[in-house]
Amino acid sequence: MASKRSDVITKGFERTPHRALLKGTGVPGEQMDKPFIGIASSFTDLIPGHIGMRDLERFIEKGVHTGGGFSFIFGIPGVCDGISMGHKGMHYSLPTRELIADMIESVAEAHRLDGLVLLTNCDKITPGMLMAAARLDIPCIVVTAGPMLAGRGRGGRAFSFVTDTFEAMAQFKAGVIDEQQLQVCEDKACPGAGSCQGLFTANTMAILTETMGMSLMQCATTPAVSAYKRRLAFASGQRIVQLVHDNITPRQIMTREAFENAIRVDLALGGSSNTVLHLLAIAREAGVPLPLEEFDRLSRETPQLASMNPGGKYFMEDLDAAGGVSGVLYQLRDRILDNPTLSGLTVKQVIDQVREVDEEVIQPLSRPVRAEGGIAILAGNLAPKGAVVKQSGVSEKMMHFEGRARCFESEEAAMAALMGGQIRGGEVVVIRYEGPKGGPGMREMLAPTATLMGLGLGDSVALITDGRFSGGTRGPCIGHVSPEAAEGGPIALVEDGDVICLDIPGRKLELKVDDETLAARLEKWRKPEPKIKTGWLARYAKVVTSAYTGAVTSIDE
């Protein structure tokens, strides 16, 4: 093959010290001419979605060496959003996306690796790895470790993480279930390895990764515990060596067409609202213009075709059996743009290979679950730069809603009011100073949204925030309100009792307060002291951008 990046550390007498160090790691001299492949592994004992990665690392290694490369495993950190939820730990979750991208860049550049296999699964880890791939633009392939199987109880009842832990917690508080039933939920919700079973952020990002062509077909939906996942890992290891030989890089794959396809598939499945943040950030690294408004344009013309947990009834294992990502692409075939994938096939060629789709799970365009896609972008005087709602999880009754504001300066304060029975029907819970800067870290708030549903308030109370929500969120919950409160956005000026109007079909989020009054309130507003003044989050808060730009770290904005 032609010259390689790794030649910088393996060729010539002046690289004798470099080769000596490589031999010190066990690299045989005759292997120095082979492509050096980094396996960026986010294995950890802390996250169910990642505990099976030691096994997948072995099969990726086997594939790399079978393909004619030499592999090196290096570690990437992971944070479990579920475990870090509802306390200080959640401040760190979104910011780790930037750390992951920076770490992969650092290792790949410092050691002049020729290609990368990115072994990932959960929420911020997958987008962080895709950001690194786009930034480096060296041959890369993604292996997502796969979804968890649904838990099973008596009579075959299916359990999932969100509805059977977070929402069950509120149901117990409300007396709907007893302590024994709560314990069953705790014991059955997470039966083993894999990302949470529904269409939460981890699985949505895996699906979008496959849709964009950055992982092999079926990788996204194949369960973590299946033998086929091992075979996909092996095949990915083989494939990266060929990608290096052919010099096929991420920016050739992650084109404008790829991002549009990803958004359409996300909308058709009713995926996580967090994908808005992540796709914006990945597109920025790939040099692809992607305005926030594009999500709403596509949502209006892309019907929702599947009823996926948490808002619906199907789990990832059902989607996999029904045809997986290829099946969704097939149902959307007239609206999907052709684009290359890392498999060597184009998207249209992938679609042409589909032979059967279970239309009870992935419904046809002629019989959609909803006429519009799962995500809507709202705007108005309360969110001049936009806000995001997962409309696939909102009941028809709450698509239009008007209520009086109950304002809270943190997630904890709102949770205390919810659990204390202080929130009533007809109110709008406003949680602010939880944005990228104000949080800092734009904490994911599954607890308050799940509590709303568990308490039976999902059809009478709305929630808005400059923070963000879990992929498991359902109900009338509007996040990413921009500008955020910490930047003096209108959400900082809301007072208890103000009337807020939510109109999802009309894409409106309005505060029924006149401009003159808001201007007077802004005159009196003072930027609050940072919540965290030490450590790296204090530095993060100074450089992170608004949610409508993807909440990326930038010294230019």
120-154 per-position pLDDT tens digit: 999 999 999 999 999 999 999 999 999 999 888 77
Instruction: Indicate the helix (H) or strand (E) that contains 295.
Output: helix 293-301
Of 168, 166, 160, the C-alpha closest to 189 is 160
Q: Where in the chain is the domain with CATH 3.40.50.2300?
A: 35-149+192-352
**CATH 3.50.30.80 segments of the chain:** 375-549
Residue spans of beta strands (DSSP E) within 146-281: 151-152, 158-159
Give the tokens for residue 163: 């509805």
> Which residue has 């990915």 as its token pair?
236
Q: Catalytic positions, please?
A: 470
pTM of the entire predicted model: 0.94
Q: Identify whether the C-beta of residue 112 lies closer than 8 Å to the C-beta of residue 36.
A: yes
487 HSE (CA, 13 A, CB side): 21
CB 380 within 8 A of CB 508: yes
Annotated binding site for Mg(2+): 81, 123-124, 444
* Residue stretches of the annotated binding site: 81, 123-124, 444
Cβ neighbourhood burial of 524 (10 Å; 0-12, 13-18, 19+): exposed
Classify burial at 461, counting beta carbons within 10 Å of its beta carbon; exposed 0-12, middle 13-18, buried 19 or more: buried
Residue 197's CB: how many other CB atoms inside 10 A? 29
CA angle 548, 84, 174 (to 5 degrees): 95
**CATH 3.90.950.10 at 35-149+192-352, yes or no:** no
CATH class of 375-549: alpha beta
C-alpha to C-alpha distance for 185 and 199, rounded to whole angstroms: 19
Per-residue pLDDT tens, the chain, 557 aa: give them: 679 999 999 999 999 999 999 999 999 999 999 999 999 999 999 999 999 999 999 999 999 999 999 999 999 999 998 899 888 999 999 999 999 999 999 999 999 999 999 999 999 999 999 999 999 999 999 999 999 998 887 767 777 777 678 778 878 888 888 988 889 888 888 899 999 998 989 999 999 999 999 999 999 999 999 999 999 999 999 999 999 999 999 999 999 999 999 999 999 999 988 999 999 999 999 999 999 999 999 999 999 999 998 888 899 999 999 999 999 999 999 999 999 999 999 999 999 999 999 999 999 999 999 999 999 999 999 999 999 999 988 999 999 999 999 999 999 999 999 999 999 999 999 999 999 999 999 998 878 888 888 888 999 999 999 999 877 677 899 999 999 999 999 999 999 999 999 999 999 999 999 999 999 999 999 999 999 999 999 999 999 999 999 999 986 64
CB atoms within 10 A of CB 213: 28
Cis link prior to 440 (omega < 30° from 0)?
Answer: yes
pLDDT in tens, 399-422: 999 999 999 999 999 999 999 999
